Structure 1
Amino acid sequence: MDDYVSETDSEYTSYWRDWFLSSRGNEYFCEIDEEYIMDRFNLTGLNTEVQYYQHALDLVTDAFDVDCDDKMRDAVEKSARHLYGLVHARYIVTTRGLARMLEKYKKAEFGKCPRVACNSHPLLPMALSDVSNVKPVKLYCAKCEDIYNPKSARHSGIDGAYFGTSFHNILFQVYPALAPTKSTDRYVPRVYGFKVHSSAALVRWQTAQQEDMRRRLHRMGVDTGFRDGFNEEEEEDEDVIFEGVSDDRALMAPGDAAQVG
């Protein structure tokens, strides 16, 4: 902002979008095509959400030519930022917008997953609400399918509504080849190489439930995406064990089965 203090109004506004995108903390945003912003259909309804809407739009489109004091200019500047963010949420789910965000995703410009088992998989910005000023932006990992807070404080204050709740899912719908293999590895607590008892028992129960569900999906011909850890002979053995037992009984936890018996 200080770089433009000595510039004239026309010189200042001609650089507004370049200045906004290059400002520290705005690295998550991509450049919006000018023709997209100029199309009033794409801005439908935003006039009720942005203060000084027309002045803000003029500033974003490099057409602001109003003689005003510093207080007014600061208010218009704030509105222009908000307007750009709201338009950005709409733009990034278009074909051009997805392509631009994809390039940033491939370069891991949004950061990498902090989960060790994800091996630094790139993250994507997302929102927990499409309503502005409700929730800040979060980062989504497609490998572990979990969300995280931005690592940098300058990004943690960005409004999540500027990215929307659907963008990260639409990206992998449009580019399915980029969807990573889901992470099935999990940390097992150990003491001197031995599993911690309570945690190990829980893991064994969860694993048994997972294996049972995989067998059921396998019989129905559904591809689970998990590594195969059993063969058809083992599956037949399990059928013998559960022969004569109802499906509801087989799905119960060990404690529940004991109570029913």
Structure 2
Amino acid sequence: MDDFVSESDSDYASYWRDWFISSRGNEYFCEIDEDYLTDRFNLTGLNTEVQYYQYALDLVTDVFDLDCDDDMRESIEKSARHLYGLVHARYIVTTRGLAKMLDKYKKADFGKCPRVHCNSHPLLPMGLADMPGSRPVKLYCGRCEDIYNPKSSRHAAIDGAYFGASFHNIIFQVYPALIPTKSAERYVPRVYGFKMHAAAALVRWQNGHFDEMRRRLRKMDVDHGFKKDEPLFIDDRGDDLDLDDEEDDDIAAEMERFEAGRGIVIGGSGEAVDARE
């Protein structure tokens, strides 16, 4: 905005879109074709989403000629940026918009994946929601299929709704040749060059699994009877758990599979029997 303080109103209006695209922090946006902006069908419903809608549209389409004070101008400018972002989310899923975003993707204008095993694969901007003002923009990597925060605080302040929650998937549907080969490399924990014992990871998983199971049982007001350090399938009285609905049956099946792996089965009397004896 400071670049145009000394310019006349006509120059300011004529270069608004060029100024917006070239401004620092707006590198993720592509330029929307004027024909798309002037087609009222493409703007359906946005008049209720944007304050000073008509003035903002005039500014974006380079026909703004209202003589107003600085405060009013600033409000219209803010509305124009919001309007451009909302239209941008619609434009980038069109044929022309996808092609423009593809060019930026190939040049890695959106950044590169910070994950080491992705080998600096280009990222795509995405939103976690289509509702404006709900979540900021994130970056999606097609190789590891994970999302990341932008490095720059300027980019992190962009509304994710300006890109939408579907664009990053649509572009791979339209250009299937872009779908990258998934990275099979994974980090292997080591101590002095030796791999961490697999049993330790299994125990951690089992402990977490049983902690989650306890929470679910507690939420259903089921007296699980598990000891704190040595969880069992049966309660302290030796009675089977009262598992009568579908969710409880799933929990029981998980517990049976786990206990069977440890060599413990449930006898007819409801007591735990060591199957290895």
Q: TM-score, normalised by structure 2?
A: 0.74
Residue 132 of structure 1 corresponds to 132
Tell me: CA distance 1:53–1:199, structure 2 relative to 1, closer, same or farther (3 Å): farther
- Give the match's secondary structure for 1:140: strand
Q: Deviations over 1:117-151 (max 9, x none)?
A: 10000000000010011100000000000000001
**Distance in 1 between residues matched to 2:53 and 2:117, nearest whole Å:** 46
1:29 aligns to what SS in structure 2? coil
Indicate the larger mover: 4-13 or 27-36.
4-13
- The one-letter code of the counterpart of 1:125 is P
**CA distance 1:82–1:118, change in 2 (3 Å):** same
User: Match of 1:215?
Assistant: none
Distance 1:256 1:25, change over 3 A: farther
Paired position in structure 2 for 1:160 = 160
| Aligned-partner SS, 2:139 | strand
**Structure 2 residue runs without a partner (length 5+):** 206-252, 266-274
Other-structure match for 1:229: none
Task: Supply the distance in 2 between the matched residues of 1:24 and 1:61 (Cα, whole angstroms).
Answer: 21
Whose relative contact order is higher, 1 or 2, with alpha carbons under 8 Å and at least 6 apart?
1
Larger radius of gyration: 2
Deviation at 1:31, TM superposition (A): 0.4
1:97 equivalent in structure 2:
97
Aligned residue type for 2:147 = I
Partner of 2:104, secondary structure, is helix
Identity of aligned residues (%): 77
Deviation for aligned residue 1:198: 5.2
**Residues 137 and 191 (structure 1), Cα distance of their counterparts in 2 relative to 1, 3 Å cut:** same
Give the letter for the 1:27 counterpart: E
1:177 corresponds in structure 2 to: 177
What is the aligned length?
Answer: 215
Report the TM-score when normalising by structure 1.
0.78
| 1:196 shift after superposition | 1.6
For the residue of structure 2 that corresponds to 1:71, the secondary structure is helix
Question: 1:154-201: per-residue Cα shift (whole Å, max 9, x none)?
Answer: 100000000000000000000001100111211110011111225764
Whether the 8 Å contact between 1:125 and 1:138 is mirrored in structure 2 is yes
Task: Give 1:6 shift.
Answer: 2.3
Aligned counterparts of 2:3 and 2:25: Cα–Cα separation in 1: 17
Root-mean-square deviation (CA, aligned residues, Å) is: 2.0
SS in 2 for 1:18: helix
